[in-house]
Chain A
């Protein structure tokens, strides 16, 4: 009986953990995607000063989230995000607008994919 109760308790904790993890993933995805809109419009209007500060803000946010994201998502995905962010930073530094815009879109897709992949949908289950 003790074992049954303990198992139920651990499983309930797992379910709660899963709900909390999904909420955190959605929040992190949103948090990281929002600055990308500001970055796109700044680059589009050649406002490199704003683009620079937005990028810094984005890097800080990523550093905050990266610590715990690795516990929940495939490490390959976090590595890909880090690589794309490094590319964005270099394209921004050398004002390479077309490459920068393309990489911002790639990063947007990668970030949107994080909560999407863990969402309870038929597509993900099957």
Chain B
């Protein structure tokens, strides 16, 4: 049993490293080849985890091989459009200029229920409101509503709002995040001074954000106990 536990740790690390090496896409929407590899990962790790008679390397070697295949496929796909189309397929337009492409739907073996479900998930209940719908290679349906039905944007109102940039978090749960403090070229001494002005101490601060326009916003910890 101890061996199984140790093997589980090792295989977990191997699978995690593999997924990290394959990049962020692997944990988000998956392309067909990525889905295949992710499913295989689970099985490859599970068998040597339980069967202590199987050498650990028999689980790790195929995982390394799969990571290599996936990384190589991605690298070649980046260079060649034809190869990318062969591996991942190409997006399919299922609604074009408001007209449903029934031939394409049949080819994709998609029912109208599937289309309506996808529309509802994008807050569209009437199919007449859709200008274009594209089924992407990762299975996600991208919907472009008709111009009159899309949400209003500041551009429609001839407004030019100021760009909002992400603030830097400099204190999180009573701890100073030195990396972010360095990014805004401020010292801990400065931060302490600012906190003192608010009659607080670092451990009392739940969150402190520094905005791009130089504002420091504090959120105090609540004493619930």
A14 on the interface (CB 8 Å rule)? yes
Residue of B nearest to A14 (CB): B64
User: Are A3 and B21 neighbours in the complex by a CB distance under 8 Å?
Assistant: yes
Choose one: B52, B55, B72, B75; the contact of A71 (CB below 8 Å): B55
Minimal beta-carbon separation of A113 from chain B (angstroms): 15
Q: Do A74 and B57 touch (CB < 8 A)?
A: no
Tell me the interface secondary structure of chain A in the complex.
helix
Answer whether residue A125 sits at the interface, using C-beta atoms and an 8 A cutoff. no
**Chain A: interface residue count, which band?**
10 to 19
> Number of contacting residues on B, CB 8 A?
16
Please, what's the 1-or-0 string for B185-209, where 1 marks a CB less than 8 Å from any CB in chain A? 0000000000000000000000000
Among residues of B, the one whose C-beta sits closest to the C-beta of A71 is B55
B21 and A74 within 8 A (CB): no
**Contact residues of B: prevailing secondary structure:** helix
Whether the pair B55, A70 counts as a contact (CB closer than 8 A) is yes
Supposing A10-B64, A11-B64, A14-B65 touch, asked if A3 and B71 sit within 8 A by C-beta, the answer is yes
Bound: A26/B23 CA distance, A: 39
A3→B61 contact, CB < 8 A: no
| Chain B: minimal CB distance from A19 (Å) | 13
Restricting to A1-58, which residues have a CB under 8 Å from any CB of B? 3-4, 6-8, 10-11, 14, 18
Contact indicator B21/A6 (Cβ below 8 Å): yes
Given contacts A6-B21, A11-B68, A14-B65, contact A72 B54 (CB under 8 A): no
The 5 closest A-B pairs by CB, nearest first: A11-B68, A75-B53, A7-B71, A76-B53, A14-B64
Q: Can you identify 27 A-B contacts, CB atoms within 8 angstroms? A: A3-B21, A3-B71, A4-B71, A4-B75, A7-B21, A7-B67, A7-B71, A7-B72, A8-B68, A10-B64, A10-B67, A10-B68, A11-B65, A11-B67, A14-B65, A70-B55, A71-B56, A71-B57, A72-B57, A73-B55, A74-B53, A74-B55, A75-B52, A75-B53, A75-B54, A75-B55, A76-B53
